[in-house]
């Protein structure tokens, strides 16, 4: 009887161990499965019918960026695009590209956006093979910023195809940024993607406001959160007053930092 009792106790002990192990494995599987859902839900991704995309409603300040590719824009309709208390609060407008290209619609977009009360910003598309001094001058000649506008934006998303261009790219971008910073008296926002961020921005431009383009992730991770301000999360949005697809962005920093990326009064 004693021997049978010992075997019974041992069997019960083993069953408990295996039951606990099974429960542990089950918990791990559930956590792995639900993690993407948790990440998604923490951003409160919600489909907004009038915009045709999901927006991360954890954040409340939403905006767009445009260029001449969006054709003629009815800025009054853009400003009045609203659904479920979600509206367009800001816009970034392409001003220049390379050494001498000036966006053909920049002047009109810049003026009309201001009239509607949208917070506006101007960006320069950086061409790696082009002279950084002439690129900076192209932007300066084209863009006069006023109080309340966003600080200038460097659109740095390509690195060039030749080794020679890539070998000088970091120093050339620094030259461009220094000229812009000295002229306007503010640190420009750097718009980029994950690859360029890891290759060139991280460790070199950590003090500059960051605007990340990422359409795949449900949550931005792996960036300098202290400087992360904007997230371009979609390129397929729809907005009243604009033909075709529109890039959508959201301000992801604390609202107290919003003024940090705007032009202040000189007084």
Active site residues: 65, 157
172's tokens: 């050339």
Give the position of tokens 């994950």.
Answer: 194
Distance (Å, whole) CA 99 – CA 141: 11
Distance between CA atoms of residues 58 and 54, nearest Å? 12
Measured CA to CA, the distance from residue 126 to residue 135 in angstroms comes to 7
136: number of Cβ within 10 Å: 25
Cα-Cα-Cα-Cα dihedral sign, residues 30, 33, 35, 37: negative
Look up residue 33 and give its two tokens.
């499965």
Which of 38, 34, 107, 100 shows the shortest CA–CA distance to 67? 107
How many CA atoms lie within 13 Å of 5's alpha carbon, on the beta-carbon side? Answer: 2
Structure tokens at 207: 């003090």
Assigned token pair, 112: 């009309």
User: Residue 94: which H helix or E strand, with range?
Assistant: strand 86-97
| Residue 70 and residue 108 in contact, taking contact as beta carbons nearer than 8 Å | no
Nearest to 173 by CA among 188, 161, 194: 188
**Count of C-beta atoms within a 10 Å radius of residue 97:** 20
CA distance linking residue 223 with residue 215, whole number of Å: 15
């Amino acid at each position: 009887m004693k021997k049978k009792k010992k075997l019974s106790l041992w069997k019960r002990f083993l069953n408990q161990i295996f039951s606990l192990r099974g429960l542990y494995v089950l918990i791990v599987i559930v956590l792995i499965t639900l993690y993407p859902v948790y990440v998604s839900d923490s951003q409160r991704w919600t489909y907004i019918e009038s915009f045709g995309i999901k927006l991360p409603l954890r954040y409340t300040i939403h905006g767009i960026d445009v260029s001449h590719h969006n054709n003629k824009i009815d800025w009054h309709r853009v400003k009045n695009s609203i659904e479920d208390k979600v509206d367009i609060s800001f816009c970034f407008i392409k001003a220049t590209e390379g050494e001498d290209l000036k966006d053909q619609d920049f002047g009109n977009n810049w003026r009309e956006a201001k009239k509607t009360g949208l917070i506006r910003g101007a960006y320069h598309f950086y061409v790696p093979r082009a002279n950084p001094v002439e690129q900076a001058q192209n932007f300066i000649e084209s863009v006069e910023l006023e109080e309340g506008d966003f600080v200038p934006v460097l659109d740095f998303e390509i690195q060039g195809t030749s080794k020679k261009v890539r070998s000088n790219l970091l120093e050339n971008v620094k030259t461009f940024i220094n000229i812009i910073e000295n002229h306007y008296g503010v640190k420009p926002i750097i718009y980029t993607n994950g690859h360029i961020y890891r290759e060139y921005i991280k460790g070199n431009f950590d003090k500059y406001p960051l605007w990340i383009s990422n359409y795949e992730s449900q949550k931005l991770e792996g960036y300098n959160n202290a400087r992360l301000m904007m997230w371009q999360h979609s390129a397929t949005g729809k907005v009243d007053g604009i033909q075709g697809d529109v890039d959508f962005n959201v301000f992801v920093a604390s609202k107290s930092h919003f003024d940090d990326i705007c032009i202040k009064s000189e007084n």
